[in-house]
Amino acid sequence: MATLDELADRIERLVLRHEELKRTNVLLEEKLAAVGNERDNLKSRLAAARSRIDALLERLPAGPEAK
């Protein structure tokens, strides 16, 4: 059976590990938010580019009718 000092050491290591994991989790959440914002920005830019391409295609003269 573990002594009281051994248990105290294990608990201290667990607390330190928990704090480390909490910090890592915060960093990952921040990174996820940044990546999500970047994705949303890219989707918006893609939609704008598609809109511009569609407008340009509308301005093209019609080709000869296919028979």
d(CA 26, CA 16) in angstroms, rounded, equals 16
Q: What pLDDT band is residue 67 in, cutting at 50, 70 and 90?
A: low
Distances (CA, A) of 67 to 23, 64: 68, 9
Q: Each residue of 21-48: b (16+ CB within 10 Å) or e?
A: eeeeeeeeeeeeeeeeeeeeeeeeeeee
pLDDT in tens, 2-48: 899 999 999 999 999 999 999 999 999 999 999 999 999 999 999 99
Per-residue pLDDT at 46: 98
- The structure's pTM equals 0.68
